[in-house]
Amino acid sequence: MDARLNFFADPTAGKVLKHFLSTGRIVKDSPLPAATQELVALRVSQINGCAVCIDMHTKEAAAAGEAPVRLNLVAAWREATVFTEAERAALELAEEGTRVADAGTGVTDEVWAYAGKHYDEEQLTALVIVVSFMNAVNRLNIISRQPAGDYEPGQFH
């Protein structure tokens, strides 16, 4: 499959993506645990069917030492016993935040309160930004049919 657009060759995309991707780097340095960020990015990408992001975040998480069993079970996190309560709260918020059109209600008060038990305001802000950022990146990649499979960990750092 060939990509419809080459974002790295287009001058307008280059200008926009320079600033857009800096958001991802800023969030990486937030107090939200790196493992949680990768799990959330992976789950959002699974829901949206963004193969290139699934490829990237699976490989980045593995390179950072994430256990393969946890990566393999992200899609079934509710039934898996390998995630902490905090990670489960983040994954639930990520799902509701990604499926806003499906649910029609957005993130429920119960899900927000559950996340608030595990994360302080700065971490919750980072979590909301990760969910929103990944949804935007997923859409850029899906619309332009970016191919997956060739990503190397650290490629965009």
DSSP assignment of 13-60: HHHHHHHHHHHHHHHHTSSS-HHHHHHHHHHHHHHHT-HHHHHHHHHH
Confidence grade of residue 157 (pLDDT, cut at 50, 70, 90): low
Q: Among all chains, which residue has been given the structure tokens 């857009």?
A: 20
**Residue 8, pLDDT score:** 74
Q: What is the pLDDT of residue 93?
A: 98
CATH class, domain 11-143, is mainly alpha
Q: State yes or no: pLDDT of 50 exceeds 80.
A: yes
Provide the mean pLDDT of the chain: 92
Query: 43, 138, 142, 45: which is closest to 93 by C-alpha?
Result: 43
What's the pLDDT score for residue 156? 74
**Averaged pLDDT for residues 13-37:** 89
Asked whether the predicted pLDDT for residue 127 surpasses 90, the reply is yes
- pLDDT tens, residue by residue, 60-108: 999 989 999 999 999 999 999 999 999 999 999 999 999 988 877 889 9
27 token code pair: 């969030």
Say what the pLDDT of residue 19 is: 85
Percent of the chain with pLDDT over 70: 98
Contact indicator for 77, 62 with CB cutoff of 8 Å = no
Q: Where are the domains of the chain?
A: 11-143
* pTM to 2 decimal places: 0.92
